[in-house]
Amino acid sequence: MIYQNLIFKFLFRHMNISKEEIEHLAKLARLELTLEEKKKYQEQLSLILGYFKKLEELDVSELQVNKTRKVRNILREDKVEECDKITQDKILKSAADVEDRQIKVKSILASK
């Protein structure tokens, strides 16, 4: 545990994430964090990034890439399946917002 704390202190000095960056990440993730949680995540993320910084220092130029699998598409083909009018009406009736017989949902990609 003492060794981990020494490593943490060393790495934390070199990869310090600001409080503002933590708040920005929390906003993106739609999280409400307490002051203690912000400090905790600031320390933890700084430590993680510190490990990545150490990994960047490794010389991997002589490592061989080992390809063990052939790449293939595992996704199913999209198919439109017809649905009877009664089932469609039940689905549309249960939706919160409908426009032109289509279910309307909130945008998750639009920036505010």
Ranges of H-type helices in the chain: 2-14, 19-28, 35-56, 85-94
Under the banding of pLDDT at 50, 70 and 90, the label for residue 13 is low
- Determine how many CB atoms are found less than 10 A away from the CB of residue 59: 6
pLDDT: which is higher, 69 or 43: 43
Kindly report the number of other CB atoms within 10 A of residue 23's CB atom.
14
> Does the predicted TM-score (pTM) go above 0.75?
no
Q: Spell out the domain ranges in the chain.
A: 2-56
Per-residue pLDDT tens over the stretch 62-111: 888 777 777 788 888 888 888 899 999 999 999 999 999 999 988 877 66
In contact, 64 and 70? CB cutoff 8 Å: no
- The per-residue pLDDT for range 45-56, each reduced to its tens digit, is 988 888 888 888
CATH number, span 2-56: 1.10.20
**Long-range Cβ contacts of 1-9 (<8 Å, 24+ apart):** 8/43, 8/47
